[in-house]
C-alpha cells in the first residue's frame, strides 16, 4: 500500500484508510465482533495503517472494538478518534461539549477503550459555538505536551475556525465529507486553506455512503436503523435522479478495467497528494477493492472527462438531514 503524509505534519499513513463507524452502527446492524477484529487485522496485514473511530460511534462501542482489534498491532497503525459531543445520560441528541475539562475526560476514556497510551490524531468532532476554538486548541496542545495525544484535527469546520485553531496549534488534518457527489469543500475554501496552511485532508463518506459503488439501486431497501433512511439524497426521487452519476461511473470504470468504487476513490487521490480518504466496510472483498484504487492511474484527460460529466449530471438532494448539517461549517 502506498503511503501519504498529512500536510506538513509529518504524519505518514496509508493512502487509503479504514473508517470503522459502520462496523458498529449507522448502516444497519454492525458486524460480528470477531469478524470485524479479523477484518481490521487483515487490513493491517495488507498495508492499511490509518484507522478512524470516535467516542460517539455506539457510543463508545466502536472505540472498544477498535481497541480490541488493533491492540496486537498497535505500533504499526495510526488511530484517529474524536471528542466534542455530550454523550451524558439525558443529553439531547447531537448536543455539543468541547469544554476543556470535557476534552480531557474524553481523552482519558478513549485511551482506555482503545487500549493504548496515546491517541495519534484527536479531532474535534464538530465545532462547539459555546467554547472558543482557541481554548479547544490550547487543551489539545496540553494533551500533546503530556504525550497523550500526538496530532490535532478538526471535523466539518469552516475556514475561520481552521485559521484560528491552526494559529494556536498546527492542525495535522481536517476531516469533512468529500466525494464525487459531495464537493462543498471545493467551493467553501476549506481545501484551498488546507493547501495554504499545509494541513492534510481526510474525506469521510468518500463512496457516497455506498451509492458510488454501483451496488445500490432504486429498488434497494434500507433497514429502519440505517442512517440513509433519513438522508434527503437517498429519498426515492433523489436516488432515481442520482443514478445517472452511477451509470457514468460504471461505464468509465469498465474503460479503466476498474470498479466504480475504485474510480471514485482514485479521483479523490488525484485531487491532492495530501488527501487520504477513509472508506468504511465490513467485508474483506470490499476492503481489497478499495485498496486497489491506489493503483488506478487517472490521466489529466481522464480527470477532465470525469469533471465534465459530474458537472453535467449534477446531484439531487442534501447530503445529510438539516439538523446534522446545521453542525457543519462553523
Q: Which three cell numbers stand for residue 35?
A: 469478524
Residue closest to 63 by CA, chosen among 20, 15, 96: 20
Distances 264 to 11, 15, 184, 286 between C-alpha atoms, Å: 24, 14, 16, 14
Residue closest to 316 by CA, chosen among 247, 253, 240: 240
Give catalytic status of residue 57 as yes or no.
Answer: yes
Check: CB of residue 259 under 8 Å from CB of residue 289. Answer: yes
Whether omega before 59 lies within 30 degrees of 0, making that bond cis, reads yes
What is the distance between the alpha carbons of residues 233 and 314, in angstroms, rounded to a whole number? 12
Contacts of 330 (CB under 8 A, 6+ apart): 126, 127, 129, 157, 158, 161
Tell me phi and psi for residue 12, to 5 degrees: -95, 135
Q: Coil, strand or helix: which one is 264? A: helix
H or E element, residue 44: helix 33-45
Which residue in 27, 57, 123, 178 is the catalytic one?
A: 57
Which residue spans within 125-186 are E strands per DSSP? 149-155, 173-177
What is the distance between the alpha carbons of residues 27 and 208, in angstroms, rounded to a whole number? 12
Distances 160 to 114, 127, 262 between C-alpha atoms, Å: 32, 11, 33
**Residues involved in catalysis:** 57
Amino acid at each position: 500500500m502506498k503511503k501519504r503524509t498529512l500536510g506538513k505534519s509529518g504524519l505518514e499513513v496509508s493512502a487509503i484508510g479504514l473508517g470503522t463507524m459502520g462496523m458498529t452502527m449507522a448502516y444497519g446492524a454492525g458486524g460480528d465482533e470477531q469478524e470485524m477484529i479479523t477484518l481490521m487485522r487483515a487490513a493491517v496485514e495488507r498495508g492499511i495503517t490509518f484507522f478512524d473511530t470516535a467516542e460517539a460511534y455506539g457510543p463508545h462501542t466502536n472505540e472498544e472494538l477498535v481497541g480490541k482489534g488493533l491492540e496486537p498491532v498497535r505500533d504499526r497503525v495510526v488511530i484517529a478518534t474524536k471528542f466534542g459531543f455530550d454523550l451524558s445520560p439525558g443529553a439531547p441528541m447531537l448536543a455539543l461539549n468541547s469544554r476543556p475539562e470535557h476534552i480531557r475526560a474524553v481523552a482519558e476514556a478513549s485511551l482506555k477503550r482503545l487500549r493504548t497510551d496515546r491517541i495519534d490524531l484527536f479531532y474535534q468532532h464538530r465545532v462547539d459555538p459555546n467554547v472558543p476554538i482557541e481554548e479547544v486548541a490550547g487543551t489539545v496542545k496540553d494533551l500533546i505536551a503530556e504525550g497523550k495525544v500526538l496530532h490535532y484535527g478538526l471535523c466539518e469546520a469552516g475556514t475561520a475556525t481552521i485559521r484560528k485553531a491552526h494559529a494556536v496549534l498546527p492542525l495535522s488534518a481536517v476531516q469533512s465529507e468529500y466525494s464525487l457527489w459531495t464537493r462543498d469543500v471545493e467551493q467553501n475554501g476549506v481545501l484551498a486553506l488546507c493547501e495554504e496552511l499545509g494541513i492534510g485532508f481526510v474525506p469521510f463518506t468518500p463512496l457516497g455512503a455506498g451509492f458510488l459503488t454501483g451496488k445500490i439501486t432504486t429498488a434497494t431497501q434500507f433497514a429502519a436503523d440505517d442512517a440513509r433512511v433519513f438522508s434527503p439524497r437517498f429519498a426515492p426521487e433523489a436516488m432515481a435522479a442520482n443514478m445517472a452519476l452511477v451509470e457514468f461511473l460504471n461505464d468509465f470504470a469498465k474503460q479503466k478495467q476498474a470498479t466504480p468504487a475504485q474510480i471514485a476513490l482514485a479521483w479523490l487521490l488525484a485531487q491532492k497528494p495530501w488527501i487520504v480518504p477513509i472508506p468504511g466496510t465490513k467485508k474483506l472483498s470490499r476492503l481489497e477493492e478499495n485498496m486497489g484504487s491506489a493503483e488506478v492511474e487517472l490521466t489529466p484527460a481522464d480527470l477532465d472527462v470525469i469533471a465534465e460529466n459530474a458537472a453535467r449530471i449534477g446531484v439531487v438532494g442534501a447530503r445529510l438531514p438539516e439538523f446534522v448539517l446545521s453542525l457543519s461549517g462553523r
